[in-house]
Chain A
Amino acid sequence: MFWVDPVAQPTLRNRIRELRSERGVMTQQALAEMVGVTRQTIISIESGKYAPSLLLAFKIAGALRVPIEEVFEYQ
């Protein structure tokens, strides 16, 4: 099949922005430095434009000190 319905595509929702604000003033830059990526990558993940690898997802969850399922939700 050459054509894929974008509406039917599964998405990875996340609560990174919400969890950052819950942890005081953890900026995107601070989180990026903690997990070893660029700030642009954190922006892309937060806005749902980029789905991180499993390893990076675990790193983000670890930096936010919550289980991975609290950060990412597969829909």
Chain B
Amino acid sequence: MVSQQRHAAFQLSVVCLVLIVFAFLVPMIGASRAQGAFGLLALLAIGPFISRKLEGGVLGDERDRAIHLRSIQISGVIFGIIATVALWTTYSIHRHAGVISVELLPWAAWWGWIVFMLSQSVTMLVLYRLG
């Protein structure tokens, strides 16, 4: 497993942990306060230490860069589709006169981040698997 693959696996584990903790907290303290689970995303900061260069090894090469770029592109498309569907759904419910609660803003930010990280790490691991 190359360093970028380890990093993607770690990223996927952190996102899954966040989703599990969030799902666990919602019935107990409510969805709004359960957003605290997203703070666990800070664990992603230790990702670079996991993907550091091993003794005598190569940190990454052109294939790793190509896979990274493609995973960013694919996750960007997934994020764009979901964001568009979410915006159109919101518009179709509220129409021109509608007012969106400001509480939706952190929700949009958290879930947007989760969708992007999840799709990027899964795409990267699949691309490595495909060769």
Contacts and interface: CB of A to CB of B under 8 A. Distances in A.
Interface of A: 32-33, 36-38, 40-41, 43-44, 47, 49-50, 52-53, 56
A37 B130 contact: no
Contacts of B60: 38
Interface core residue of A38, A47, A49 (most chain B CB under 10 Å): A38
A14 to B, nearest CB: 14
Contact of A37 (B56, B62, B128, B131): B62
B130 A41 contact: no
Q: Is the interface of B mostly helix, strand, loop or mixed?
A: loop
Interface residues of B, number: 12
Contacts of B2: 38, 40
Nearest to B4: A38
23 contacts: A32-B58, A33-B56, A33-B58, A36-B58, A36-B61, A37-B58, A37-B62, A37-B63, A38-B58, A38-B60, A38-B63, A40-B63, A41-B62, A41-B64, A43-B131, A44-B63, A49-B130, A49-B131, A50-B131, A52-B62, A52-B63, A53-B62, A56-B62
A38 B4 CA distance: 11
Nearest to A52: B62
Nearest to B59: A38
Interface in B49-102: 56-58, 60-64
Interface string B99-131: 000000000000000000000000000001011
